[in-house]
Chain A
């Protein structure tokens, strides 16, 4: 007993250390799915994060009041610059939307499946892990907000990390510069794929890129989608340094696009859709749709009038001759057109492959389809009137000119 009393402190020390080492061993052995320390973590997070939320709220509120009502220096100049920027970006957007349309058409040809971020949730960063060796942050959204583990976390600048643990009203996000993180990445120009990892020093490196490839510094790094967490094509960062590493692989250092040291607001990607690329209707076709919607509805004619065997009468499914009755309006609505917009009927009259782009001057609904110049549409219209001295015959004649189904422009493209 004397010995126990004499070495009591040492015995307790050994006991406490042994218990913790044992606990460590159990945690290392088990996977995160059956986390034995969940309760301790929940307690710790519940103790610390409420205060963090309060402080964050106070800080942002104070900052908002100051910046919104008092410190307005340079706002006019900033506003002017932003307007100029919007103009520049609008022009750029027009060009890029054309490129995107072309890309979608090509992707549709290849039955290409794309991943789209369909839903995100904004979250505030309220705290960190407090350790240099654990690069993780806490956000103010949790299980009650629909957050789940392994959801991607991004900012407008680039990717940030993934949700690691989810608590009731907060979540822990593992940043991409942590040494235990891994992101599938691809180099923008060279299309070389690798794995993005953090280092113990907090740097980000791209691993598993063969050293026989040339990677220029400054090249953009994007997500490859191979990790199943981040959708393909999100900006990761930029290559800053390339050196020959070990085992035939390059050592590529990457500077993350998002400022991971000063995160304030992030977006959690709560839903990613995967769907086959669909070529969007061109602007001209949409213009026709819009125009059709704006046109007044055609009053229904008395049956007697429709059945009247007069030269000016138009059968169902036909288009009206230009200038007869109300100009540029269909006299009757075809069965197909009545179920959708009038433009669909217009598209059905188009048999040319370039029909979708041919309605550029589509200011007269039901006529300006077929060719870029719109002349063929007039010809169709004319033929309809010519061929249809009687309504029934006119219907038959028109039906032959109608494409069976509206086809995407890409499918009409020459192979």
Chain B
């Protein structure tokens, strides 16, 4: 199995250049807003989430992970008509969790990334659901088939996104 426990010394830590750090999340948010107009089914994907997970697992820094996730989430929130913070909080939690897990586990393989994405997609959806209902009072519908399908779809896309991120990440 690809997921293996590694010590802190064995784990490789990567970084991203400043242009990549800025442009990749922006591109993800842009595509997330633009592609559903041409391909309505694309709304089941969450590209900013995949980028958040990808950045967090590569950097393996919880602080960087939660801040990156929070900023990406807030940017995503700003394009919706809901209060800002729903995606922000969810992605903050995911960024922190993914980077914390990245320290413990080796997530360089496709299988590990697939499972990791499914898990954090579920975490993201649960947090979003709870905040939306509990804090904002939105009517939310939780449908298991839809969530499972979305999780698998995002995990498959996530593997591809992580491969693209591998090309731009730099070893520290």
Contacts and interface: CB of A to CB of B under 8 A. Distances in A.
B128 to A, nearest CB: 8
Category for how many chain A residues contact B: 35 or more
A9 B85 contact: no
A12 B85 CA distance: 16
Nearest to A128: B36
A133 B132 contact: yes
A180 B85 contact: no
A44 interface: yes
Contact of B63 (A8, A28, A172): A8
Given A24-B85, A28-B136, A125 B66 contact: no
A128 B70 contact: no
A25 interface: yes
Interface in B68-96: 70, 74-76, 78-89, 92-93, 96
A54 to B, nearest CB: 11
A103 interface: no
B43 A16 contact: no
B9 to A, nearest CB: 19
A133 B140 contact: yes
Contacts of A25: 135
Interface in A162-206: 164-165, 172, 174, 178-180, 199-201
A132 B82 CA distance: 12
B92 A134 contact: no
A9 B70 contact: no
B98 to A, nearest CB: 13
A47 B26 contact: yes
A13 B79 CA distance: 24
A200 B75 CA distance: 22
A239 to B, nearest CB: 22
B34 A174 contact: no
A48 B79 contact: yes
A129 B84 contact: no
B66 A200 contact: no
A37 interface: yes
Contacts of B131: 24
A132 B88 CA distance: 16
A262 B62 CA distance: 40
B65 to A, nearest CB: 9
Given A28-B137, A51-B30, A55-B34, A44 B79 contact: yes
B126 interface: no
B84 A12 contact: no
Interface of A: 8-9, 12-13, 16-17, 20-21, 23-25, 27-28, 37, 40-41, 43-45, 47-48, 51-52, 55, 125-134, 136-138, 164-165, 172, 174, 178-180, 199-201, 261-263
24 contacts: A9-B100, A12-B66, A16-B66, A16-B67, A17-B89, A20-B70, A20-B88, A23-B85, A24-B136, A27-B83, A28-B135, A43-B78, A44-B75, A48-B30, A48-B79, A51-B30, A55-B34, A126-B37, A127-B33, A128-B33, A134-B80, A134-B82, A180-B138, A200-B141
Given A24-B83, A25-B135, 5 more contacts: A13-B93, A16-B67, A125-B37, A134-B80, A180-B81
